[in-house]
Amino acid sequence: MNLSLSVLIESAKAGKLISFPTDTVPALATIPVQAELIYAAKQRSFDKPLILMAAKAEDLWDYVQGSQREYQTWQKIVNQYWPGALTLVLPASDKIPTVMNPVEPTTIGIRVPNHPVAQIILAQTGPMATTSANLSGQPALETKAAIEAQFPEVLTLESTEYQGLGIPSTVAKWTGNNWQILRQGSIKLDNYGF
Which of 27, 139, 141 has its CA nearest to residue 18?
27
Radius of gyration of the chain (CA): 16
Kindly state which CATH superfamily the domain 2-183 is placed in: DHBP synthase (3.90.870.10)
pLDDT in tens, 68-124: 999 999 999 999 999 999 999 999 999 999 999 999 999 999 999 999 999 999 999
> Other CB atoms closer than 10 Å to residue 59's CB: what's the count?
17
**Mean predicted confidence (pLDDT) in 145-162:** 92
Measured in Å, how far apart are the chain's first and last C-alpha atoms?
41
Residues written for the chain: 194
**Mean predicted confidence (pLDDT) in 43-48:** 94
Backbone φ and ψ for 80, nearest 5 degrees, come out as -85, -35
pLDDT in tens, 155-169: 999 878 888 888 889
- The answer to whether 173 touches 182, Cβ cutoff 8 Å, is yes
Cβ neighbors of 121 (< 8 A, separation 6 or more) are 5, 8, 9, 12, 18, 20, 128
Domain ranges of the chain: 2-183
